[in-house]
């Protein structure tokens, strides 16, 4: 049976980050991705802070728009603008460039390869295995109708919000999930393409917010998040209503038409209780690293991916990867916990626009009050 140091499941930003940095350390890495191409399709608005360029070269060809500011619109229509330097990236191209950088660092990719089992050395099997987390060394995946087995010293689940690796390793997922419909629209009347816009209103985005993220002079990704238990209607219905009726935003869309329509999901409950069990590590959305308030998960997944690579490298000698759990909890834990706490406050305030208006300066990331307590 072939063997490698690290099998990474999922070629999204988190998986590519682990793959790149582990390969740079000289480890033999195989990335298994169930899709035929990296980044297809990727439900995402694609806002990334410029911080990401400390980890990857963000190729000009995947940057759709330079961003300088973020506008927040309250339910009453009043608004606030803050500095927020970043880019809107085209996720398909962005992910592809990350995969290219990981591949150039030495990682191997196997596309159209769906992981279906992890198990103990020589005992790989489909389905959950309570010992798999402790002793997993074999990965089983399906490719072109065949079942293939490979041995790995470490398995990284970077397989997104409904992580199969977490389930196979017996890791408890705590899963509150937001459902996010999004269009890319053309013909959008933007005041300033370098400003991303966020809209809060219980009638349009219950439990979350709506966004208009410019992808050019007259085009934007327009979407919103619905925290599942708060919503009785289909997510797309909320988005159509936002576009046609929101008192401030609707003027942007009078002559606009969607050229793409997607629905994605996001973990909004913060870090899982365990993100490392034996030699199985979870990274990115699989580990609950998307911010429970903003939904942003690209940067945290990439940062955690680098930490995973470093701790895998260190841990291989005595098969101890707990350093990953400790470092990630120290670095990302407080921020994610704060956001979770704020989301719980915000959830309670989605009863009416009056209460939402009042709590927003404490519960949304662009306000000082968010960071104060």
Q: Which is nearer to ligand FAD, 33 or 311 (CB)?
A: 33
Q: Which is nearer to ligand FAD, 265 or 360 (CB)?
A: 265
d(CA 269, CA 173): 10
Residues 6+ apart with CB under 8 A from 1: 138, 149, 150, 151
Q: Which is nearer to ligand FAD, 186 or 263 (CB)?
A: 263
Q: Could you say whether residue 197 binds ligand FAD (CB under 6 A)?
A: no
- Contact by Cβ (8 Å): 100, 122: no
Residues 6+ apart with CB under 8 A from 318: none
- Contact by Cβ (8 Å): 180, 226: yes
Q: Which is nearer to ligand FAD, 9 or 256 (CB)?
A: 9
Which member of 24, 129, 138, 159 binds ligand FAD (CB under 6 A)? Answer: 159
Q: Could you say whether residue 44 binds ligand FAD (CB under 6 A)?
A: yes
Instruction: Determine the Cα angle at 351 with ends 345 and 357, to 5°.
Output: 70
Q: Could you say whether residue 180 binds ligand FAD (CB under 6 A)?
A: yes
Q: Could you say whether residue 29 binds ligand FAD (CB under 6 A)?
A: no
Q: Which stretch binds ligand FAD (CB under 6 A): 40-48, 68-76, 200-208, 346-354?
A: 40-48
The tokens for 26 are 């000289």
Q: Could you say whether residue 158 binds ligand FAD (CB under 6 A)?
A: yes
Q: Could you say whether residue 7 binds ligand FAD (CB under 6 A)?
A: no
Query: Could you write out the DSSP letters of every residue in 9-47?
Result: E--SHHHHHHHHHHHHTT--EEEE-SSSSTTSS-----E
Binding mask 228-257 for ligand FAD (x = CB under 6 A): ------------------------------
Which member of 75, 119, 124, 164 binds ligand FAD (CB under 6 A)? Answer: 164
- As measured in angstroms, the least distance from the Cβ of 93 to ligand FAD is 14
Q: Which is nearer to ligand FAD, 41 or 247 (CB)?
A: 41
What is the Rg, in whole angstroms, of the alpha carbon atoms belonging to the chain?
21
Count Cβ atoms within 10 A of the Cβ of residue 357 and give its class: 0-12 exposed, 13-18 middle, 19 or more buried.
middle
The tokens for 193 are 């393409």
SS3 288: coil
Q: What are the C-alpha distances in Å from 208 to residues 180, 230, 320, 346? A: 10, 10, 39, 8
Q: Could you say whether residue 292 binds ligand FAD (CB under 6 A)?
A: no
- Cα 373 from chain centre: 25
Selection from 284, 272, 283 nearest residue 6 by Cα:
283
Q: Could you say whether residue 301 binds ligand FAD (CB under 6 A)?
A: yes
How many residues bind ligand FAD (CB under 6 A)? The answer is 39
Q: Which is nearer to ligand FAD, 43 or 106 (CB)?
A: 43
Q: Which stretch binds ligand FAD (CB under 6 A): 12-20, 123-131, 341-349, 356-364?
A: 12-20
Which member of 30, 32, 132, 280 binds ligand FAD (CB under 6 A)? Answer: 32
d(CA 221, CA 226): 16
Q: Could you say whether residue 14 binds ligand FAD (CB under 6 A)?
A: yes
**Contact set for ligand FAD, span 305-364 (CB under 6 A):** none
- As measured in angstroms, the least distance from the Cβ of 70 to ligand FAD is 11
The tokens for 208 are 């979350």
Q: List residues binding ligand FAD (CB under 6 A).
A: 9-15, 32-35, 43-48, 114-115, 158-160, 164, 180, 182, 223, 264-266, 284-286, 290, 295-299, 301
């Amino acid at each position: 049976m072939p063997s490698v140091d690290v099998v990474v499941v999922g070629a999204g930003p988190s998986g590519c980050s682990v793959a790149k940095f582990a390969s740079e350390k000289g480890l033999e890495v195989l990335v298994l991705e169930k899709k035929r191409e990296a980044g297809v399709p990727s439900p995402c608005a694609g806002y990334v802070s410029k911080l990401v360029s400390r980890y990857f070269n963000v190729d000009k060809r995947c940057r759709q728009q330079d961003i300088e500011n973020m506008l927040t619109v309250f339910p009453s229509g009043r608004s606030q603008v803050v500095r927020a330097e970043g880019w809107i990236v085209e996720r398909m191209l962005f992910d592809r460039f990350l995969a290219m950088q990981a591949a150039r660092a030495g990682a191997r990719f196997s596309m159209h390869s769906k992981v279906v089992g992890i198990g103990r050395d020589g005992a790989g099997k489909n389905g959950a295995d309570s010992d798999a987390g402790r002793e997993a060394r074999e990965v089983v995946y399906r490719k072109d109708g065949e079942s293939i087995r490979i041995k790995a010293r470490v398995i990284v689940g970077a397989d997104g919000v409904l992580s199969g690796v977490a389930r196979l390793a017996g890791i408890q997922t705590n899963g509150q999930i937001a459902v996010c419909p999004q269009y890319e629209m053309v013909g959008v009347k933007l005041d300033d393409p370098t400003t991303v816009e966020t809209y809060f209103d219980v009638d349009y985005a219950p439990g979350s917010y709506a966004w208009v993220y410019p992808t050019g002079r007259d085009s934007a990704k327009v979407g919103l998040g619905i925290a599942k238990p708060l919503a009785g209607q289909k997510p797309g219905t909320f988005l159509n209503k936002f576009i046609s009726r929101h008192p401030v935003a609707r003027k942007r869309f009078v002559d606009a038409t969607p050229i793409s329509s997607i629905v994605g999901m996001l973990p909004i409950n913060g870090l899982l209780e365990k993100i490392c069990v034996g030699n199985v590590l979870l990274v990115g959305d699989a580990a609950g690293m998307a911010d429970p308030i903003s939904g942003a998960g690209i940067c945290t997944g990439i940062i955690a991916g680098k930490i995973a690579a470093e701790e895998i490298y260190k841990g291989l000698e005595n098969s101890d990867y707990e350093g990953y759990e400790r470092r990630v909890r120290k670095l990302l834990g407080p921020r994610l916990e704060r956001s979770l706490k704020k989301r719980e406050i915000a959830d309670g305030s989605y009863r009416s626009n009056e209460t939402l208006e009042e709590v927003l300066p404490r519960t949304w990331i662009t306000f000082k009050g968010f960071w104060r307590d």
